[in-house]
């Protein structure tokens, strides 16, 4: 696509929107301005290509397509079949997977599809035996009652939230913590690293149906070969949630023991984050689980989003290009440079560094909570998110950590030199921010003090740092 064509496409789209609701058009334009001017360091965010973004704004949005390719509950889905099949084909080839299911709307949806697929495949239900049926539609109300009671007692072993796991890995308030009798494994208190011997011990004691690997805030590689061996030793299904690091797998930065696809029975992911596609989810699995996974709609999902599946096909095709591997490696190089820059300035990092795309700063060393640090950085043009650290005394809301990641800035073309400058800006803000007090004089976990002049100065420096690396340079909305 030519530079002129990109500008014309997005300008024209905003003109059409403005004719109906100008405030929405204004908000879209403001979002592009904000993203262009801010240092985006949220590890779970990225910038999708213009082709991927445009693939979502089309007539596929108007189409219902429940079912799977060639087996729909609605007529007229031949074009949806084309884009869904293309997305699945690209996913299989990109990751070396036997089967790909590209309908999930999000990572949580993908995990729910995986959980229920494993349950449906593994559970020998007395209710099903009694009814002598195998089709869900044939179950009576009594059958369902017995089945729900049995499935509610199944066991999951996953990484704890404060150690870096995700809330869908059994966090009690999440549906995963209600579906399963759940137990968590953490990290070594001294190093912050996974202790595989302790995971094996927990698995032997707990005997889970599902062992979950993967993370949302663990800054190191995971050895999926060892976790698969642990799962096999207790007869568990091994599931990996690679939503955060799928781009590093696709780009062949993580290979061998650190590539989950050859080792796991089932793998879930988002299609954005480090994969740089549209917001959505996906499930990869071994052949024996394919039929159950393909029942994701209507088992868990509503109607698929064909316009997002079209965008997934575009983004996955982009990820199969040779330059994506270079991009993935630069993500890790930048994360390690950012970590090194912070360490040189005295920051405390969980695990002391990173092997992947993210860095977790323990901001208690600055006398701050994660919430205070997050807002102070935002005031200064640096977009991050607060995150728990292992054994976090401030809990999951206020937290003691800031999670930062490099996929988005790497997409913009920033390199290791700019990462050191970014570390300097972060350190400056955090050292100049102090904890605030409540109206009654008691310490606050949310309020903070930061000189607005300093925040403005850092924000200008952040903008200057980004200036040589414009975001969507071919797109001019003026």
d(CA 177, CA 180): 6
Most confident region among 141-150, 300-309, 326-335, 436-445 by mean pLDDT: 326-335
264: left (phi over 0), alpha (psi -120 to 50) or beta: beta
d(CA 8, CA 476): 8
pLDDT in tens, 200-232: 999 999 999 999 999 999 999 999 999 999 999
The confidence band for 135, taking pLDDT boundaries of 50, 70 and 90, is: low
Indicate the DSSP class of residue 236. Answer: P
Output the average pLDDT for the chain: 91
d(CA 336, CA 339): 5
pLDDT in tens, 384-411: 999 999 989 999 899 999 999 999 999 9
pLDDT of residue 421 exceeding 90, the answer is yes
Percent of the chain with pLDDT over 70: 92
d(CA 255, CA 247): 12
Indicate the DSSP class of residue 472. Answer: S
Residues ≥6 apart with Cβ < 8 Å to 308: 56, 105, 278, 279, 280
pLDDT in tens, 37-66: 999 999 999 999 999 999 999 999 999 999
The confidence band for 140, taking pLDDT boundaries of 50, 70 and 90, is: low
pTM, entire model: 0.91
Percent of the chain with pLDDT over 90: 80
Q: State residue 133's pLDDT score.
A: 43
pLDDT in tens, 98-112: 999 999 999 999 999
pLDDT in tens, 248-270: 999 999 999 999 999 999 999 99
pLDDT of residue 136 exceeding 60, the answer is no
Q: State residue 151's pLDDT score.
A: 58
Q: State residue 167's pLDDT score.
A: 72
Could you tell me which residue, 180 or 433, shows the higher pLDDT? 433
Q: State residue 180's pLDDT score.
A: 78
d(CA 436, CA 439): 10
Could you tell me which residue, 171 or 114, shows the higher pLDDT? 114
Which backbone phi and psi does 107 adopt, to 5 degrees?
A: -65, -40
Count of residues in the chain: 478
pLDDT of residue 171 exceeding 50, the answer is yes
d(CA 405, CA 163): 17
The confidence band for 124, taking pLDDT boundaries of 50, 70 and 90, is: very low
Q: State residue 17's pLDDT score.
A: 95
Q: State residue 125's pLDDT score.
A: 46
Q: State residue 447's pLDDT score.
A: 96
d(CA 360, CA 349): 6
pLDDT in tens, 269-319: 999 999 999 999 999 999 999 999 999 988 888 889 999 999 999 999 999
Q: Catalytic positions, please?
A: 64, 66, 241, 270, 273, 279
SS3 at position 401: strand
pLDDT of residue 147 exceeding 90, the answer is no
SS3 at position 28: helix
Q: Which residue has the tokens 């090194």?
A: 340
Domains in the chain and their CATH numbers?
A: 59-319 (3.40.640.10), 324-466 (3.90.1150.10)
Average pLDDT for residues 448-452, to the nearest whole number?
Answer: 97
367: left (phi over 0), alpha (psi -120 to 50) or beta: left
Average pLDDT for residues 65-91, to the nearest whole number?
Answer: 95
Centre a 10 Å sphere on the Cβ of residue 78 and count the other Cβ atoms it contains.
10
């Amino acid at each position: 696509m030519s530079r002129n064509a990109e500008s014309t496409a997005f300008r024209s789209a905003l003109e059409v929107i403005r004719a109906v609701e100008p405030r929405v058009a204004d908000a879209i334009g403001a979002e592009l301005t904000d993203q262009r001017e801010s240092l985006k360091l949220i590890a779970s965010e990225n910038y999708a290509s213009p082709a991927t973004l445009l693939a979502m704004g089309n007539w596929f949005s108007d189409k219902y397509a429940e079912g799977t390719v060639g087996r729909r509950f609605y007529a007229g889905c031949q074009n949806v079949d084309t884009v869904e099949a293309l997305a699945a084909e690209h996913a299989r080839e990109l990751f070396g997977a036997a089967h790909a299911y590209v309908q999930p709307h999000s990572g949580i949806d993908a995990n729910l599809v995986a959980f229920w697929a494993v349950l449906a495949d593994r559970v020998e239900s007395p209710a099903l035996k009694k009814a002598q049926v195998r089709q869900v539609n044939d179950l009576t109300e009594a059958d369902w009652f017995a089945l729900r009671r049995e499935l509610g007692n199944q066991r999951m072993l996953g990484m704890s939230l404060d150690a870096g796991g995700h809330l869908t890995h059994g966090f009690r308030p999440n549906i995963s913590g209600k579906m399963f009798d759940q137990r968590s494994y953490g990290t070594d208190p001294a190093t912050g690293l996974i202790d595989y011997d302790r995971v094996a011990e927990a698995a032997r004691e707990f005997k889970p149906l599902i062992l979950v690997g993967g993370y949302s805030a663990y800054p190191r590689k995971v050895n999926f070969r060892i976790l698969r061996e642990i799962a096999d030793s207790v007869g568990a299904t091994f599931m990996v949630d690679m939503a955060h690091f799928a781009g590093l797998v696709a780009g062949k930065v993580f290979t061998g023991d650190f590539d989950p696809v050859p080792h796991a029975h089932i793998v879930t992911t988002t299609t954005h984050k480090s994969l740089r596609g549209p917001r959505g989810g996906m499930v990869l699995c071994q052949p024996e689980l394919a039929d159950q996974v393909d029942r994701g709609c209507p088992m868990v999902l509503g109607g698929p989003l064909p316009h997002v599946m079209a965008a997934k096909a575009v983004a996955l095709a982009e990820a199969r290009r040779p330059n994506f591997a270079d991009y993935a490696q630069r993500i890790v190089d930048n994360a390690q440079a950012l970590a090194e820059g912070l360490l040189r300035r005295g920051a405390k990092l969980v695990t002391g560094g990173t092997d992947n795309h993210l860095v977790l700063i323990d901001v208690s060393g600055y006398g701050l909570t994660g919430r205070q640090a997050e807002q102070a950085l935002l005031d200064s043009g640096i977009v991050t998110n607060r995150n728990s650290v292992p054994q976090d005394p401030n809990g999951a809301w206020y937290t003691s950590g800031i999670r930062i990641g490099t996929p988005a800035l790497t997409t913009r073309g920033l390199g290791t030199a700019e990462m050191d400058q970014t570390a300097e800006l972060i350190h400056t803000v955090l050292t100049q921010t102090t904890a605030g007090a409540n109206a009654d004089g008691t310490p606050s976990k949310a309020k903070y003090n930061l000189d607005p002049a300093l925040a403005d100065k850092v924000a200008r420096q952040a903008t200057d740092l980004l200036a040589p690396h414009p975001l969507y340079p071919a797109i001019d909305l003026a």
